[in-house]
Structure 1
Amino acid sequence: MKHVANWSILGLTLVFLIGPFVIIILAGASAGQNLAFPPEGLSLKWYAKVFTIESFRASFLLSMELAIFGTLMALLLGVPAAYALNRYDIPGAETVRTVVAAPIIVPGIIVGLALLRYFVVPLNMTITLALFLAHTALVLPYAVRVVSSSMHNLRADMEEAAVLLGCTRFQAFIKVVLPNIRGGVLAAFILGFVTSFNQVPVSLFLSGPGVRTLPIDMLAYMEITFDPSVAALSALLAFMSLAIVFVAERLLGFSRYV
Structure 2
Amino acid sequence: MTPRLFTPLVLTAVLLFLIGPFFIIVAASLSAGETLVFPPQGLSFRWIVKVFEVPSFRESFAMSMFLAIGGTFAALVLGVPAAYALSRYKLPFGETIRTIVSSPIIVPGIIVGLALLRYIVVPFGVGITAALFVAHTALVLPYAVRVVSASLNNLRSDMEEAAVLLGCSRLGAFFRVVLPNIRSGILAAFILGFVTSFNQVPVSLFLSGPGVRTLPIDMLSYMEITYDPSVAALSALLAFMSMAIVMLAERFLGFSRYV
TM-score over 0.5 for the pair: yes
The Cα offsets for residues 165-224 of structure 1, whole Å up to 9 and x where unpaired, read as 011100000000001101110000000000000000000000001100000000000000
One-letter code of the match for 1:218? M
Deviation at 1:64, TM superposition (A): 0.3
The question of 1:205 aligning with 2:184 is answered no
> 2:178 aligns to what?
177
Deviation at 1:3, TM superposition (A): 2.2
1:120-199 equivalence runs, <5 A: 120-199=121-200
Quick one: distance in 2 between partners of 1:116 and 1:11? 43
Quick one: distance in 2 between partners of 1:172 and 1:123? 41
Aligned pairs, number: 258
SS in 2 for 1:193: helix
The question of 1:237 aligning with 2:241 is answered no
Deviation at 1:17, TM superposition (A): 1.1
Quick one: distance in 2 between partners of 1:99 and 1:10? 37
Deviation at 1:156, TM superposition (A): 0.7
Deviation at 1:10, TM superposition (A): 1.4
The Cα offsets for residues 56-93 of structure 1, whole Å up to 9 and x where unpaired, read as 00000000010001000000000000000011110000
The Cα offsets for residues 72-119 of structure 1, whole Å up to 9 and x where unpaired, read as 000000000000001111000000000000111001000000000111
Quick one: distance in 1 between partners of 2:40 and 2:51? 18
Quick one: distance in 2 between partners of 1:95 and 1:231? 43
One-letter code of the match for 1:242? M
Q: Which residues of structure 1 form unaligned runs of 5+?
A: none
Deviation at 1:5, TM superposition (A): 1.5
1:43-192 equivalence runs, <5 A: 43-192=44-193
Deviation at 1:122, TM superposition (A): 1.1
Quick one: distance in 2 between partners of 1:42 and 1:17? 25
The Cα offsets for residues 23-80 of structure 1, whole Å up to 9 and x where unpaired, read as 0000111100000011111111101100000000000000001000100000000000
Quick one: distance in 2 between partners of 1:160 and 1:218? 52
Kindly report the root-mean-square deviation, in angstroms, between the aligned alpha carbons of the 2 structures.
0.6
Deviation at 1:6, TM superposition (A): 1.6
1:12-23 equivalence runs, <5 A: 12-23=13-24
- TM-score relative to the length of structure 1: 0.99
> 1:214 aligns to what?
215
One-letter code of the match for 1:251? F
Quick one: distance in 1 between partners of 2:18 and 2:123? 43
One-letter code of the match for 1:211? V
Quick one: distance in 2 between partners of 1:62 and 1:19? 30
Percent identity at matched positions? 73
Quick one: distance in 1 between partners of 2:110 and 2:41? 37
- TM-score relative to the length of structure 2: 0.99
Deviation at 1:9, TM superposition (A): 1.1
**Higher mean C-alpha deviation, range 4-13 or range 70-79:** 4-13
One-letter code of the match for 1:150? S
Query: Which stretches of structure 1, 4 residues or longer, exceed 3 Å deviation after superposition?
Result: none
SS in 1 for 2:194: helix
> 1:33 aligns to what?
34
Q: Which residues of structure 2 form unaligned runs of 5+?
A: none
Quick one: distance in 1 between partners of 2:197 and 2:8? 36
One-letter code of the match for 1:189? F
Quick one: distance in 2 between partners of 1:43 and 1:7? 35
